[in-house]
Structure 1
Amino acid sequence: MFTGITLQIISALIATLSAFVDGMHFAWTAPIVPVLRRPESPIKITPNDVTLLETIYLSGGVVGLPITIFLVNKIGRKKSILTASAINLIAWIIIGTADQVQYLYLARFLGGLEANVNYVSTPMYLAEIAEEKFRGVLSGSLYVMVTFGMLTIYSVAPFLPFYVPSVVAGVLLVTQLVTFGILPESPYYLMKQGQEEKAKAALLKLRGNLDKLETISSAVRQQQRERGRLRELFSVSNNRRAFTIVLYLTAAQHFSGITPILMNLHTILVDTDSTFFNYNMTAILFVAVMLITSIVTSFFLDKLGRKFLLIISSIVCGSCLLIMAVYFHLKTLGKVDSSAFGWIPLVAVMTYAAGFRSGIGLVPIVLASELFSMNVKALGMSLSDGMYVTFGFICIEIYQSIVHYCGYYVPFYIFTIVAFVTAVFAFFVIPETKGKSLEEIQILLKKRKPTHTNDKYENCDLVIA
């Protein structure tokens, strides 16, 4: 039987299989809408259907908010992940067998609902099973798998029959449903539920020893003294600071451009009028760059730190978005020759893909799983995820409206400003959490010096952070 870091990796891999499929859901409209618009399409759609297929997915996430809060607290992280996986499977079966657009609406709604559950329960599970020195890479694996899913849907949907993505998703989800149940539950959750013997057994499997048992037990007792109500999320200083940081980053992810770009990438590339690239292949390359960057960055999260990567990522993204904004602005004014300068948006988009996944697109989910204290973690992450969906909905609606009335350059200028502001926010507001236990992070957020530490430099860092 596997134990220690090997079991942590296996658990993370199987736990994030549904994240892979969520990535397929999230990016589904970009390659599928052109397919559905073909004369031979199995399902006929209108322009209004296109907008609804994007926004109804996000609406499902909002509806899933109270369900998520209930599940992760009442049945645990592991069973919540399995519940999301089952709903996900139903959604893909509906997509694969649909013959009317109304069935696609239902499937997209269910996909958004389960994604809310999954994007809360999976990061919590990963952060709570991982050792401090591996928490960054294991937590980052969530977005690696999401990006794998995006790459899959971009690579499969334009070229193979409509039902094939559903088959791919179904195989992965059934695999997760069959195998994940035998893996350990979070020892933090078990300790919180008063199941100390089960917590010991889970910790022994995951860590190979019980060295952290008393630390976990003490932390859970301490955090449970503050009741996990909505008021505590805002009245307790460390919770309030955590929520402020996560809330801003969830907004920044959307408004630095990634959601409109991913959901409309093929259309954006076509409207550059560039003759330098094939649009379908460029879209695949875009997500491939994101995937490679996600994998590489996840291994540096615990070396370079969350804060440094977030600052650099924001600056890179802001620069690329500014280039895209200027290109579309000049194109609107008729002052750019796309036959000569059409390579510029290609370079900018690819650099943006790498820049986004090296920080803004990876760090927030890691911080969300680290910053909230145990007693409000489910509530804080669920509310943050609900706001993530809400911001995504607002961003898509604003983007579509502005593009229709003003052109591409205006939203890209807005995305540019948000990206640069995020770099400033990260520098002045966000604490560095690399190498710290979940208990030490709470001390850091309270700006209180810990009583003991294994790192001779740790106290100094906690004081000045």
Structure 2
Amino acid sequence: MHEKGIIDMFRGTAPQIVAVLGSTIGAISDGMHYGWSAPFTPILEKEDSHIKLSHSDVTWLESIYLIGGLAGLPVTIYSVDRLGRKASILLAAVISLVAWILIAIANNVIYLYIARFAVGLSGDVAFVAAPMYIAEIADRKIRGFLSGTIYVMMLVGILVVYAVGPFAPFYTCSIIGSVFVIIQLVAFPFMPDSPYYLLQRHKPEKAKRHLERLRTTGTVDKEMEEITTAVDRQRSEKGRPQDLILNKGNRKAFIIMTVLNAAQHFSSISVMLMNLHSILKEAESEYISFEIAGIMFSAFMLIAATIADFTCDKFGRKGLLICSSLLSGVSLLVLAVYFTMKNNGYDVGGISWIPIAAVMVYAGVFKFGLGIIPIVMTAELFPAKMKAIGMTMADFAYLFFGLVSVEMYQKLIEVYYLDLPFYIFASTTLLTAIFSWLYIPETKGKTLEEIQYMLKGEPIPERKPSNYIGNGLDDTSEKDIKLTEISPNNVA
């Protein structure tokens, strides 16, 4: 996009950008919590550690984070609806701050258990409420870009904890994480609230005032009318849970999202982020320390995610999924073969650069497909009346399979060795490429109505002329997405 096009795209959006930064700066803290166990587990397992950890403690510190996320589902559903998107983000920030304090003062593993459970819960709330808030305040011309901000912030947090954790006193990351949360707690209350939520709570005058604060282009009467129509439609369109299975299109969307959410974790992303330092330490590379390799890994993830945020709409979803799954699977297979050779007594000193290269390639290729397409497709596949139910189920699947993958990894390495779980992860990731090729439709350039026809296996009607008021969209028009475009807790 040329310079003038970029300027035009962002013209008049400064209040929205400030509000989005306020709503997502806490995601840096969430990313630090998510990646916390990778650098700190090796530290806490040392003889001179102030907290003694057993192998079961390591497993629980990872699993309880995801259990907290599952426990947070009903809290999230209640909070974003009753308290609102803005209040939910602030609630998550308060919980995160308490967790950092518990970690800083911890002299027993119980403190860490409580903190990890709490931030799993708060992360679930934040990663539903913040994308929902962004989708409802953003101009459609930059909504996609702004929606990706929270995931970039999260990866910044992972980079921070990987860069600081191994080299600074134990409490340092707690201080840094707390600073980001405190900034959010101080600044975000002054940001505008979601006009959609205010209309849902029957506060039209307040909704208009907050919308005027978000827009700098003059009158907002027309947009207020559109939002009011969208909210009224949402109230009248309530999907039934059984329709997720009984309706052919909904059923296919549900299967696709369940498989993709499972595939994200069974491509090892949570295992990798939570155990990266111990995995690289076991690889015994003679070329680079595992601490530095961890920083490089998180930097690769951040760069790839930033590029993907700008470019994902330029490539087909299906093609990206297939390529990403194939390359991620090959990277994991190479890692598994290396550990098999090492475990069987082969001299791997001369090739100890291979695991470093494998995880770096994985960091880049994962984020261009498996790491971003499920987030995009969640908002595309479900019709308006099924979005809330469908996305809640997608959120549950994401957390559930994350817990299963982490538990499986820890159990297998305890009984066998690192190679077996990575053979499993490589196999499932390669199978995802086949599933994507055979079952997932290409949704790039398709209206939401056309996607529903594709999911049902019905021919797509000819599009109406572009000057038609609906422009080829069904009742789930682009402006309706603002109300319902919730991403699951998809922190990968």
Q: TM-score, normalised by structure 2?
A: 0.84
Report the CA distance shift for 1:453/1:226 in structure 2 as closer, same or farther (over 3 A). Answer: same
Residues 123, 247 of structure 1: alpha-carbon distance in 2 compared, 3 angstrom cutoff: farther
One-letter code aligned to 2:377: L
Distance, in Å, in 2 between the alignment partners of 1:270 and 1:36 is 15
Shift of 1:164: 1.0
The 5-angstrom pairing of residues 133-144 of structure 1 reads: 133-144=141-152
Q: Residue 33 of structure 2 is aligned with which of 25, 37, 56? A: 25
1:137/1:301 contact within 8 Å kept: no
- Partner in structure 1 of residue 111 of structure 2: 103
Q: CA deviation at 1:102?
A: 0.8
How many Å apart are 1:241 and its aligned residue?
4.4
Question: How is 1:432-447 mapped onto 2 (pairs within 5 angstroms)?
Answer: 440-441=447-448, 444-445=451-452
1:404 Cα offset (Å): 2.7
User: In the alignment, residue 103 of structure 1 is paired with which amino acid?
Assistant: Y
Give the Cα–Cα distance (whole angstroms) in 2 for the partners of residues 5 and 136 of structure 1: 13
Of residues 358-367 and 273-282 in structure 1, the stretch that sits farther from structure 2 once superposed is: 358-367
Task: Tell me by how many angstroms 1:407 deviates.
Answer: 2.1
Report 1:17-416 matches (<5 A). Answer: 17-207=25-215, 208=217, 209=220, 211-235=222-246, 239-334=250-345, 336-369=346-379, 371-373=381-383, 375-416=385-426
AA partner of residue 445 (structure 1): Q
Deviations 1:263-317 (A, max 9, x none): 1111211222321221111011111110111111111123335444333322221
The worse-fitting range, judged by mean Cα deviation, of 152-161 and 184-193 is: 184-193
Task: Flag the 1:245–1:205 CA change in 2: closer, same or farther, 3 A.
Answer: farther
The Cα shift of 1:210 comes to 5.0
Alpha-carbon shift at residue 359 of structure 1 (Å): 2.2
2:483 corresponds to which residue? none
Task: Work out the CA distance in 2 between the residues paired with 1:424 and 1:130.
Answer: 36
Residues 332, 358 of structure 1: alpha-carbon distance in 2 compared, 3 angstrom cutoff:
same
Q: 1:396 to 1:376 in 2, by over 3 A?
A: same
Contact 1:127 1:369 in 2 (8 A): no
Which one-letter code corresponds to 1:244 in the other structure?
A: I
| One-letter amino acid matched to 2:258 | L
Alpha-carbon separation, structure 2, partners of 1:372 and 1:186: 22
Question: 1:350 offset after TM fit, Å?
Answer: 0.3
Structure 1 counterpart of 2:147, one-letter code: S
SS in 2 for 1:271: helix
- Shift of the alpha carbon at 1:446? 5.2
How far the C-alpha of 1:165 sits from its partner, in A, is 0.8
Q: Deviations over 1:186-221 (max 9, x none)?
A: 333334444444444444444544554444443433
Cα displacement (A) at 1:156: 0.9
Q: 1:240 to 1:178 in 2, by over 3 A?
A: farther
SS at match of 2:142: helix
Provide the C-alpha distance between the structure 2 equivalents of 1:293 and 1:54, rounded to a whole number of angstroms.
25
In structure 1, how many angstroms separate the alpha carbons of the residues matched to 2:246 and 2:26?
Answer: 35
Amino acid at match of 2:369: G
Counterpart AA for 1:67: V
1:390-415: CA deviations, max 9, x gaps?
Answer: 21111111112222333222221221
Q: Is the alpha carbon distance of 1:92 and 1:237 closer, same or farther for their aligned partners in structure 2, counting shifts above 3 Å?
A: farther
Q: Aligned to 2:170, what secondary structure does the other structure show? A: coil
Q: Kindly indicate whether the alpha-carbon contact (under 8 Å) linking 1:140 and 1:363 is maintained by their aligned counterparts in 2.
A: no
Counterpart in 1 of 2:477?
Answer: none
- Deviation, structure 1 residue 318: 1.4
The answer to whether the 8 Å contact 2:316/2:444 transfers is yes
Name the CA distance, whole Å, in 1 between partners of 2:11 and 2:54.
53
Q: Could you tell me how far 1:60 is from its partner in structure 2?
A: 0.9
- Counterparts in 2 of 1:190 and 1:166: CA distance versus 1, 3 Å: same
Mapped to 2, the partners of 1:406 and 1:454 lie a distance apart of 64
What SS does the aligned partner of 1:132 have? coil
Q: Percent identity?
A: 45
Deviation at 1:50, TM superposition (A): 1.1
Distance in structure 2 (CA, Å) of the matches to 1:224 and 1:170: 39
Going from structure 1 to structure 2, the CA distance change for 1:236 and 1:17 (only over 3 Å counts) comes to farther
1:435-460 deviation digits (Å, cap 9, x = unpaired): 78xxx53663355757675699x859
| Secondary structure of residue in 2 paired with 1:302 | helix
Deviation (angstroms), 1:44: 2.2
Q: Which amino acid aligns with 1:394?
A: V
CA RMSD of aligned residues (A): 2.9
Q: Distance in 1 between matches of 2:250 and 2:178?
A: 38
Unpaired runs of 5+ in structure 1?
Answer: 461-465
Tell me how many residue pairs correspond in the alignment.
454
Deviates further, 217-226 or 41-50: 217-226
The residue matched to 1:276 in structure 2 has which SS?
A: coil
> For structure 1, which segment, 340-349 or 325-334, has the greater mean C-alpha deviation from structure 2 after superposition?
325-334
Gaps spanning 5+ residues in structure 2: where?
1-9, 455-459, 474-492
Cα 1:224/1:106, change in 2 over 3 Å: same
Paired residue for 2:489?
Answer: none
The question of whether the paired residues in 2 share the 8 Å contact of 1:59 and 1:109 is answered with: yes
Q: Say which SS state the counterpart of residue 296 (structure 2) adopts.
A: helix
Structure 1 counterpart of 2:359, one-letter code: V
User: What does the per-residue CA deviation read over 1:218-260, in whole Å, with 9 as the maximum and x for residues that have no partner?
Assistant: 3433343232553454455665444433322221111011111
